[in-house]
Every structure is written in C-alpha cells, then in structure tokens.
Structure 1
Amino acid sequence: MHGKDFDIRISNKHRIRFTSDTFAADSRVLIDLLETNGHAKVLAFIDNGVAEAFPELQQQVNDYLDRMPGFVSRGTIVQTGGEFCKRDANTLQAAWDAIEKAGIDRHSYILCIGGGAYLDVIGLAAATAHRGIRLVRFPTTCLSQDDSGVGVKNGINAYGKKNFLGSFAVPYAVVNDFTFLHGQPETERRAGLVEAVKVALVKDASFFHWIEDNAEQLSELKPHALEEVVERSALLHASHIAYGGDPFETGNSRPLDYGHWAAHKMEQLTDFALSHADAVGVGVALDTVYSWKTGRLDEESAMRVLKVLITLKLDIWHPALTQTNADGQRSVFLGLEEFREHLGGELTVLLLKDLGKGEDVHTMDTELLAECIEWLEVYSGALKS
C-alpha cells in the first residue's frame, strides 16, 4: 500500500473589539475593521428582541451600511431569536434563503446582531453558505459578550440535544458594543456574570479575586464594573481558544465547560425554561462542592465561590437536580454520559484543585454527587429561611 500524509496548516485571525455606538453616523469601527475589494456586499441579521429593545437600530444599521465607502449594502433581516430559534429549523432555512437572495458570496460579509442563541444559528448559516462567508458577530447580552459570542462554535439543537448540529468557524470579527450591554434588562446583564466567574475559576485566580472584591458593584450592575468584567472574561475565553491548543475541541478536555455537564442536562429537563446562565450557576456550584467533597479543593475556597455566586444573585440550586427517571436514578446524571458522548471519547470533567486551577477527571461518583446535591439544597434553603 502506498500513500502520503500531508500536514495542512490553517491560520485564522480572531479579531475582538470593545466599543460603543458602532452604528453612530461618525463611527469608523466597521469601516476600519472590514476589508473590501471596492464592492463587497454586506447583509445584517438582527435578533428581534434586540430590534424591539432598540427601536431605531434597524434604521441606524441600514443608514450606516448605505454610507460605508467601498461596500454594497444588502439591508437588514430581523428574525426571532432566543433559545427558540435553535430548535426551529425555519430560522436557519430563512437565513440561507436571505443569503442566497441577496447574492452574498465569499467576498461578502454577514453581520449578526443578537444574543448567543441567535449568533449560533446565523453563525451556522454563514459557515455553511458557500462553505463559509465572513461573519462579524455583535453579541448583545452580557452572557454572549463575555463568553459564547467570542467563541468559534455555531450550532442548533436537534434530537433533543443541545448543539447537536453545528460547526466550528472563526468569525471574521467580534464587536462587543457596550451600548447593547447597558440597554439589556437587568436579568440579561446579570446572566453573563456566571461565565465570568467560571472562566476565572479555571483560568485566572487573580480575576476571581477581582470579582470577589467587586462583587457588590457587580451585583448592582454598575456600568464600569460590568464593562471590565465583560472585557476580562471575553479576552480570557478568546485566549484559551487561541492558545489552549484545541480550538476545535478534537480532544476530550474542555475546561471552559466547567459546571456545564449538569447545566446542559438541567436545561433539557426543564424544556429550556431554565436559562443557560441559571443552569450554569447551579452547575458551577455543584462541581465546586464536589471538588471540595472529593478533597481537591479546600472548604474555605469552595465557600468563597458559593458566596460570590450568591452575592451576584445567581442560583446555586434548582429542583431539576432532584428529578428521577423510571429506574429511580437522578435524571441529571444522564448528563455525564451525554457529555462523554459529545466529547467523542472517555468522560472528561474538569474539577477545581484551587482557585484558578483545574484538574481533569474521568469518573464521577454519582452517590457522592447525590450527597452534594442534597447539601446544596439544604444550604440554599437555609439562606432563604
């Protein structure tokens, strides 16, 4: 047998910008960021929740695109976003239809303005149409600005599983516009704080200490504190993707998914009535207590983590943790097998050895996990009494 192996290396630039009022008449953010051959086309997709929160946005975007020198505007499309759009195949199909109708090609740009779920869907449309169109993401929620929006994953839910269908594609750029951040409801701004806590716990102890020191201001959603936590979290997430050695998750270790094996399953068990952020808060609390109870993390550090989550007004327990299946097993534990399956190999879950330092493990003691769940229920109940 004859043959030869070829080593194909692909280099991608991951551009991340922090700004405000991108679509103001005097803004040059996009003009300076995008490249053009003199007639590159630009089509913008807008999450309808964002369009409703900012009634003048669609017209602002249309006017801005019309004024961009060297570009041809193909206007704006407004679609229903939120978690629903990841379960509705029509959203993805409508995006493909709009891309084809507008004559968008591989020298064109797609802008997507919306929350994390909508970015996932339009990201998949951009990654698959013409086998890849340059995408500029505008995350609008705290959760998407400091975590998912700066990532390289796109996907939709299928077969009852989160992100079963999707792709990895580095966006041309990510623009975190704080105008959107501060225009979101309190619940949306607060939701992103949990991913900042998570990335600090697994990547940067000094960042966790900063969150701890500024927890009261963050709890009150003070603009300067919120902007700093978003920027530091986003850059930590992006740095891991760029320099962590596994940007497209071909291995089994995914430290940025700390607390997520339980979170993803709880979302499914509640038919996504439990938001991703709330589920991650509970998942982080559970894995932190488990890290403590297995002797990896000291009790003082574990309690500091729980105190930060509570100060930030994030949940640390949810009734979904107690649901059982026909065999009497806690349903959330099925998330471990789904997590293993999603990784395509042996189970790998990151636990904490210290603040800012994780350790991969390949087995989880479900009896001890059950005890941790019961402990969290009692602890959480005592706080409310």
Structure 2
Amino acid sequence: MFIDRAIIEVRSGKGGDGRIAFRRERSRPKGGPSGGNGGRGGSIYLVASSEVNTLVKFRHSKVFVANDGENGDIKDMYGHSADDVYISLPVGTVVFLEENKQFICDLDKPGKTVLIAKGGRGGRGNAAFKSNRYKTPKIAENGLPGEKKRLILELKLLADVGIIGYPSVGKSTFINLVSNAKAEVGDYGFTTTIPNLGVTYLKDGSSFVIADMPGLIKGAHLGKGLGLVFLRHIERTRVLIHMVDMSGLRDPYQDYLSIRSELKDYGMHLIDRPEVIVASKMDEEGAQERFKEFQKKVNKEVIPITALDQTNFDLVLYRCKDLLKDAKTYPVYEESNEEVVINAYDKDERIFYIEKINENTYEIKGERVLRTYNLINISTDDGMMRLITYLNKIGVDEELHKLGAKDGDIVKISDFEFEYFE
C-alpha cells in the first residue's frame, strides 16, 4: 500500500519547574537558597530517512509526545532534561501546519533534520535569584510549556523521470518492462491509482529512478479524478516521458495538448521540464498513419514504441539519460530561514494588549506577556508580587484605566484572574 498524505500531532515536553529550597546544615547556619533549576522538556525533530518509503504507519501512530523535564531539587540539583523525539519520514516528505496550511519544511535530502516542536525551557530555582540585595529569595520559575502542533505530511516522490499520459496509454506496461517496478496493468479508466517507482539500469551501467504516474484527465489541476495526486508527485521529476496512444481509441494530438495545458495550469515549472514524446501501441492497425499525422502536428521528435517486442525502448531510456545530464532540479517550495509563525500573536511586537470581554471583565493577551506569566510561580507570595510588579512595569494598570476599568472589575491572564483596583 502507498500512502502519500497523513496528519499527525506533535507535542514537545514542558520544562521542569525550579525549586524553592534553603540549606539546613549545622555547619552552614546561613546556608542560603539552594533550589535547583528544572530540566528542559523534550523537543521533537523530523528526520528524512532513506529506510522509510511510505507514510503508511502514520495512519495508526498519529500522536508523538516528548517527555517533560524534571523539576529542580534541593542542594542546587538541576532536574534532568528530557530526551528528544526523532520521527523518521520518507525522503521527499513536505510538511505543513494543518491550521493554516503554511509550509514548514521539505525533507528533500537523506539525513535532513528539522526541529518541529521545541521543548519548554526549565524554570530557574531560587538559588538563581540570589543577589547582594536579595539574599533569601523565595521565588522560583515554572518551566515553560512545550509546543503542540498538528502537521500535514505529503510525500512527493523523488523520481528522476516521470511517465505521464492519459489512462491506459501503456505507462504501466512500459515501466514494468524497463525497471524493477511491479505496476498493475489493465484496460481501465484509471489503471494506475498510485505512483509506481522503479529503477532503470541501462546497458552502459548507468541508472535512474523512473515513476509511472496516475493517468490524467482534463481539469486535473482543479482536483478532478486523480489529477492532484498525479501533479503532486510529478513536481519532483526532472524529465518527463509523455506517452500518447496511437491505437485509434483516442485523439493523440488532443490528448497531448490537454495534458500540456494541465501542466501549465498547475504551475511549479512543470511545463518547463524537458520531455521525451513517446507514441505507444504502434502495432495496432492504422497506428503508422496516426503517428505520421501526430508528428507533423507537434513538430517535435516522437519515438514510436511497441510493447510486444520492446521496439525503441532503449532509445527512449537513453534520451532520458542525456536530458538528465543538464536537467534542472526545481525546489517544491522555497524554504525560509524565518521561524515558522504558529498564530497571529507571533507577528505582534507588542508586549501585551487588553481585550474587553464584557462590561466588567478584561483579558490580558499577547505572546510575550503570556510567556513571562508562564514562568512565574504565583503559588508563593514572592511570586505573586513579582507578577504584579511586572504587570505594572509594562503598563497594564495604565491601559486598564484608559479602557475604563472600575474597581472590582475582573482581569484575566491565561488561567488566572484578579480584581482591579486603582
């Protein structure tokens, strides 16, 4: 079975919490703070692996979770950082965010590794807050939460040469005879429902990967039939074998124009790929006359082939080999060095903003303020004071006043709420 699309969820680990602790040793009556830092949560990486060929297993293993970091401990002991999780994917997998279909990465080379969900930072223990002014700090930080993302995985085959054409023109027969592929053969509207991949070995010792793509119909670039599946895989190929049927059941010239039109409409430089035009089923009655008429219309080299005795099969393969020498490799997506935007807040440079929920309730929002809030352990008096001081410092009180907040109104930040008083 071949699965070329899957959806998975990844969850990186939360950072361990910092510890509040003090030394209690007879030899050190003023031992001071000794709470250690929490460990880092486990991150999740995607790895392009040549040992994985399909996305089949991701139909069942859809959630990948990294462990949380351990909490800090007494005597300045740090919590252990969690192990990272590595997910092996087939080379050629392209990854998107499900929520907005944003492109994340293209795993186009074996061994390519991408950090997809970063583990949360461990919180600092109270020993980290000791200073000349503050010798017995009673505050510690929480570990930051990990990231949670739903990802779309699309496998785009890495074939050097792709065989294209309408259904039942002889693509599967050709690839079976010239490679180690085992494509299904039959006289159906759609013989090939999945791409068949094989390696062709030429007599001079050279070789290349060849793929028989699902048959196209008019409107494929709009998603009709199996068209989008076909076009998604053909993006990777550098040379095309365009096969047309000379048996008389179809109009070869109209078929040729229709498929060229589909390639152009889809984009991705498909129309620019070098092609070898092949006329199949030349042993059928009247095929020679149709071949001459077709060649005259296209005004390009067309190679006639016959599957029964494999006439001109070698000629087709060596034409492909020659074209591959200078054929360009087109990236499926242009990758950016910028960090992936997960939600609208990531673009917002403000430290915070306040949203009025109803007449008496306000909510403090913003990625930066929420990140700081998540770090502060508000279960202690010192931690609560630290939060209040921080909110005042960044101007939350002033902004609430501008919005018309009154004494006793409720102010929320994440899962915590408090009453507002001027």
Normalised to the residue count of structure 2, the TM-score between the two structures is 0.24
Structure with bigger helix share is: 1
The structure richer in strand per residue is: 2
